[in-house]
Amino acid sequence: MSQTEKSNPDALSEETAVSKKTAPDEETTASEETAADEQQAPQDTTGEGEERFDFVVPKESYKHHQKKRRHKKRKKDAPKSTSEEQMEESYDDFVFATPGKKKHKHHKHHKHRKKWPLWLKIIIIIVSVILVLAIVLTSTYFILKEIGRKAMHNYDNINIEIPLDDDDGDVGILQKGRTVRYGGKTYRLNEDIMTVTFIGYKESEGAEDGSFMADAIYIAAIDDYTGKTTILGVSRDTMLDVDVYSAEGEFIDTETKQLSYAFSYNNDTVKGGENLNLSLTRLFFGLPFENYFALDLEALEELNDAIGGVTLTSKLTFNSSYYGRTVEEGEEITLHGRDAVKYVQSREYDDLEGNNARMDRQQQYIKAFLSSIIPAAKKDISTVTTLFGVVSEHSDSTLDLPKVTYLATAALSKMRSASQIEYVSLTGKIKAGEHAEMYLDNKDVLETMLRVFYTPVQ
């Protein structure tokens, strides 16, 4: 202890008191300064005790300077320290970009991507085209089928009137003929049946006001529900009511004539096929027939050869243009070219039964022809449409591609072979007139109509 401290103990006690009094205040001030320094120091985000930045750029050149990463949401009531305000002022002229993952730019062509060989690309393109065509063709087929279905069923104009004698039995007509009572049974019109009249015509000197007459007349009745197909033959010599027109196309009168003459009136007023169908409607007491397909028999040569010829056992002795010799009756032969036309057209005019014999050969030819194309058509329906295209230039018809597609589908869908097709012919008494004339019995016609176009009600 110094001399002064010893001589002045009161002063020593005062300094000690002051020292004790001010020491806590100095510790407090030091603590506050340390806390302020900690608040001012940036947080160590790298674990190395200092903040890192990739780069620093002037604020004016940074496009998105409005999105400043340094701004943090503060509470409105949190006061800013002087050091913090100074720090923000020093940062105002710069934007700090924080480190992040570098985005990988995908280029269209990478060196590591394996290129497909040219031959593989060609195969893929070809397969794709085939698939697209298959889809288009399938869609087209179903569209054509639906359009054809709607167009082939039309019995709105039915109006059956049956002029039978009392001896023929009682006949009851209901709903304009949709229901018929005959022979103690009730029959209902089968509206699932579609009908097409197939007409084979040729040039004839006997035609009136026209150069063509019908030589072959067959009604195809196709049930699109069961697939049953019936071909009903009507003799060209059948005598019935025919509408007669002048050369200028003016209607003259209705006369009783051979059915073949109905086709000869073909002008701007009426088509020959329509006029023949009208006569058939009269024959069947008012049953409507609207669709027809009329083919020039000369074009049968082209149609016949399109399927490679038709093989059958000849029912006629004739001179073959194709084989250059005489084909004998009973000989199996494949008809080619003109031989097919000759086989279905030949007729003995001196024989009143000559047309019946010709119809027998025509039906034989139709069976053989269908036996050739049905197996192929069942595998590929386009076979029918292709043949339709072959003869379209030599025909007149109400049929179009949708109708042909639907008819073929309906007939072939449930048919196993051509042997399932039923053939029916109207027969009557033949008399000699200017030409051979066939007269039908109304009772026989009614019974045939009920058999083909109606269904017995159980």
Q: Where are the alpha helices (DSSP H) in 158-223?
A: none
Task: Report the alpha-carbon distance of residue 276 to residue 293 in Å, rounded.
Answer: 11
Q: Sign of the C-alpha dihedral, residues 322, 325, 326, 327?
A: negative
Give the residue among 217, 218, 225 at the shortest CA–CA distance from 153.
225
| Sheet hosting strand 212-223, strand order edge to edge | 395-397, 292-296, 193-203, 212-223, 229-233, 422-425
Q: What is the mean pLDDT of residues 363-371?
A: 94
pLDDT of the residue at 88 = 54
> DSSP characters for 85-114?
HHHHHHHTTEEEEPP-PPPPPPPSS-TTSP
Structure tokens at 431: 């008399």
Q: What would the pLDDT profile of 272-317 be if each residue is shown by its tens digit?
A: 999 999 999 999 999 999 999 999 998 999 999 999 999 999 999 9
Task: Report the alpha-carbon distance of residue 103 to residue 172 in Å, rounded.
Answer: 91
pTM of this prediction exceeds 0.95: no
Structure tokens at 36: 């302020």
Residue 156: pLDDT band with limits 50, 70, 90: confident
Residue 147: pLDDT band with limits 50, 70, 90: low
Structure tokens at 153: 């069923």
Length of the chain: 458
Q: What would the pLDDT profile of 240-283 be if each residue is shown by its tens digit?
A: 999 999 888 899 999 999 999 999 988 778 899 999 999 999 99
pLDDT of the residue at 150 = 62
